[in-house]
Amino acid sequence: MNPKNWQLSFFRREQRSLFGEILDWMLTPLLLLWPVSLALTWLVAQGLANKPFDRALIYNAQALAQLVKLSPDQQRVQFNLPQPASELLRADDADLVYYQVIGPKGEILGGDRDLPQPQEDEKLGSYEVKIRDDEMRSLEVRVAYTWVQLASDKSPVGMGPVLVQVAETREKRSVLATEIIKGVMLPQFAILPLAVLLVWLALVRGIKPLSELEERIRARKSDDLSPLDEKAVPLEVAPLVSSVNDLLGRLKDSIATQKRFLADAAHQLKTPLAGLRMQADLAQRKDASEEELKHSLKQIGRASVQATHTVNQLLSLARAEGGGAIDLQSCDMEALVSEVLHDSLPRAMDKGLDLGYDGVDTDSKRRFLKVQGNPTLLKEMIRNLVDNAIHYTPSTEERIGVITVRLLVDPYSQALAVQVEDNGPGIAAAERERIFEPFYRALGSNVDGSGLGLPIVREIAQRHGATVSVDVAHPGQTPPGACFTIRFARASNKFKTNMASGSADL
């Protein structure tokens, strides 16, 4: 296996299901929070279970503290616990209860010696009860303790504090906490699967519009490029549907362009190909003379040139009408115009035309001659204007045809314009818009042409954000001539007027 292919297959991300992705992100937090809920419930249950038993423990400690008295001679501390009270204190079926009374000198006045004492810094005020957790005989116990301060007549300060403690094991508390947890957790075991089921059903219902959208798209015919209904989908899916509609619109335009190109190609190639076939049939006649054969071959050559020109024009129009983005770069219009004029000069000289160039005259204007565009398309645009002028401008000994290509710059708006002016028959005002339609040719022109040059010019100009206009080159003269202007930016009124009159003085 190719190592490169292995790396690509290794790092290729597995296709994920949107339904599964959403389900994972919804159930994973739920399942992770469930153990946390168990832990919190356990802590809350422990607190709830401690409260009632702690109150009973505090009551017992206070009751024992009341039994601590001074002896009649007020020289010592006495603790007398009646037998019924002792039996009642220890009467607990679930837990073991311990108590302890320690005198001022540390002597045991009653109870269990093994019960641990609190820290010295935990001494409280008289009869103030506090609760702590401790351990006795390897058993966890809950201890309530208080300090009793006794004062005698002989010693108002007292004989020192007496420690009273009552402790019990935690069996009842554990049982109660367990019951609380069971009461809370057992319903969750039934609710959790129900919650998962409801989440699954909600997701199924939530993505149903996507399934319906998929069904509507699959049910469409292959030639149905109408936009999808954005109002029939949720708001979150509307941007996706809008993007699909935009793609369908561009695809529809592209298909329409291809169909128009095929129709135009079939229409335009039909005539020259029919002529080729007719001339070939004439040349193959047995009784054809040598002059007739030469004439047929000449017509065949002319028809083939016309067909080649038509095909090239159709390909240029198809390239100009392409819906894709064009490769933009900085283009020097002066250099592009010079290349076009250099290529077109032999044809102009063969027809006896005066082909000239009128460029900018200052360096301050020359720096605005660069535009962002595709150099191939821009040259095609200028070449079609120049070829159109060469094609339709007559030249005789009495009146020589003159074609001038200009570059105009407005230093205020930084607008750039390309003009192609001639002294030919001109274009009637009623036809100045129609000449940019494919295959349209001005009435009264006896010159062969495909009618595609000017549509190519307008299409390329529009793709570069420019506009094309045609005006009279020499008002009041006969013939008036024509002046085509391509503007690459919005120019001022003065600039438009000067360009229309053919003046380069801004």
Tokens of 228: 């999808």
Distance between CA atoms of residues 411 and 504, nearest Å? 12
Angstrom CA distances, 229 to 102, 209, 237, 243, stand at 89, 12, 11, 12
Choose the CATH number for 238-319 among 1.10.287.130, 3.40.50.1580, 3.40.50.1980, 3.40.50.300: 1.10.287.130
CB 193 within 8 A of CB 186: no
Q: Is residue 194 left, alpha or beta, with left meaning phi > 0 and alpha meaning psi from -120 to 50? A: alpha
Question: 413: which residues sit within 8 A by CB, 6+ positions away?
Answer: 489, 490, 491, 492, 495
Question: pTM of this prediction?
Answer: 0.46
pLDDT-wise least confident of 88-97, 188-197, 217-226: 88-97
Least confident window among 78-92, 219-233, 442-456 = 442-456
Closest CA to 389 of 361, 363, 333, 351: 351
Burial class (CB in 10 A: 0-12, 13-18, 19+), 165: buried
Cα separation, 338 vs 341, whole angstroms: 5
Q: What is the pLDDT of residue 428?
A: 85
Q: What is the mean pLDDT of residues 34-42?
A: 80
pLDDT tens digit sequence for 359-384: 887 776 777 888 888 888 888 889 88
**490 and 415 in contact (C-beta within 8 Å)?**
yes
pLDDT digits (tens, 9 = 90+) for 160-202: 788 889 998 888 888 888 887 777 777 877 787 888 888 888 8
Contact predicate 412/492, CB 8 Å: yes
Contact (CB, 8 A) for 466 and 486: yes
What is the average pLDDT across 373-399? 87
Question: Going by CATH, does the domain composed of 327-500 fall within 3.30.565.10?
Answer: yes
Annotated domain spans of the chain? 23-178, 238-319, 327-500
The CATH class of the 23-178 domain is alpha beta
Identical topology for domains 238-319 and 327-500 = no
Q: What tens digit of pLDDT does each residue of 271-326 get?
A: 567 767 777 777 777 776 777 777 777 777 777 776 776 666 666 666 665 555 66
Q: Distance between CA atoms of 281 and 292, rounded to whole angstroms?
A: 12
